[in-house]
Amino acid sequence: MKIPAAALALVLVAAHASPAFAAPPDDDGAVTARLAFLEIVLARDGAKLGTWRDAWVSAFSALALLQVGIGVPTSDVGVRGAALVGGAKSLLAAGSILAVPATLVTASAKLRALDARTPAERRAKLLVAESLLQKSAGESRFRHSWIPLVAGALLNVGGATVMWAGYHRPGSGWFGLGSGLVVGQLFYQTQPIGAIAAWDAYSRARDQGKPPPTLASLAAREPAIRWSIAPGAGGLLLQGSF
């Protein structure tokens, strides 16, 4: 059953009311152009974020199971401690990814479920699309802020402290701290942040009464060095572009 576009738009706009929203233009052509841009961006960046989340949740979950599997049967106290601490860190990391909202992952599907056969439906759908991209950009800003970096660092320092004080294995503590920080940076740097640039460029053009930006102009705003995770033959690939 499809939710009427106008009703859904009203609910979303009321829930996320802010100065960033403006009434859609009366020109149906302008509405269609803006909606087309948002549909492409939400589909493209939603797929990237979904791949990134799935890859890291799977990696951390597998690492947690592996380390617990090593630590539980061994009689070596130091090995057991390092494995269980590492497993706990990996499990917490996987949980933290799932705990942060990811509106962008399902945004495109939600938008496709709305009708756009009449000018009124297209205007309502445009409001929904704007709300979804704005919310996704806000969530992306949080994931790319200092908060996850500090949280990850504290988690690794906590694990190292347990190894130092609880198991008296400073070497394992230092190794766990160093490797954890490296993985944390890799996790942080590979996350997709396209929704931020897309929303900033779109809202700026909209507020100035201009057509939506082109995808090429958005690509020019991305960092000179970009990392991403993408599906590959037999698994996932870590990609870098310069």
Q: What is the pTM of this model?
A: 0.77
Out of 47-51, 80-84, 99-103, least confident range: 80-84
Give domain status of residue 17, yes or no. no
Give domain status of residue 236, yes or no. no
Distance CA 234, CA 97 (A): 24
Question: Would you state the structure tokens that stand for residue 148, as one six-digit string?
Answer: 């996850």
Asked if 67 and 79 touch (Cβ cutoff 8 Å), the reply is no
Nearest in space to 124 (alpha carbons), one of 23, 19, 14, 1: 23
The pLDDT tens digits for 125-161 are: 999 999 999 999 999 999 999 999 899 999 999 999 9
Give domain status of residue 5, yes or no. no
What domain range is 97 assigned to?
A: 26-219
pLDDT at 201 over 70: yes
Give domain status of residue 197, yes or no. yes
What is the pLDDT, as a whole number, of residue 223? 56
Give domain status of residue 232, yes or no. no
The pLDDT tens digits for 5-19 are: 444 443 444 444 344
Give domain status of residue 240, yes or no. no
Overall domain count for the chain: 1
Per-residue pLDDT band at 27 (split at 50, 70, 90) = confident
Q: Which residue in the block uniquely carries the two structure tokens 């507020």?
A: 207
Give domain status of residue 3, yes or no. no
DSSP string, 58-113: HHHHHHHHHHHHHHTT---HHHHHHHHHHHHHHHHHHHHHHHS--HHHHHHHHHHT
Give domain status of residue 111, yes or no. yes
